[in-house]
Amino acid sequence: MNAIRIRKKIESDTLHLPELAPFLGHTVDIVIEDQTAPTPTNATIAPGTGDWHAFRQAAQALRPNYDYDALAEQDARDLRDAQEQMR
């Protein structure tokens, strides 16, 4: 499978994309993805944006559902298992 990435600002509903010339006559999938920056209202996390507020919100949403005691117990059990196997 050949893949290319074309990043263009859409300014018309008629596009001229010479990069697609090698694909003429082929069946292809064309995917258009909006790359607008996330805003505080949509609170999505996009890589490389440094949106720490959105990250903090996502992390806090996980906090009530995360069992930190179970993690500590599992770590202790893993350590005991590893020590028993070394004997």
- Asked if residue 15 has pLDDT above 60, the reply is yes
Higher per-residue confidence, 43 vs 70: 70
Domain boundaries along the sequence of the chain: 36-86
Mean pLDDT value across residues 43-60: 73
3-state secondary structure of 4: coil
Query: For the chain, what is the radius of gyration of the CA atoms?
Result: 24
Is the pLDDT at 47 greater than 90? The verdict is no
User: DSSP letters of 9-44?
Assistant: ----SS---GGGGGGTTS---------PPP-TTT--
79 pLDDT higher than 90 = yes
Q: What is the pTM of this model?
A: 0.35
Distance CA 1, CA 45 (A): 30
Q: What is the mean pLDDT of residues 10-39?
A: 82
pLDDT at residue 43 tops 60? no
pLDDT higher than threshold 60 for residue 9: yes
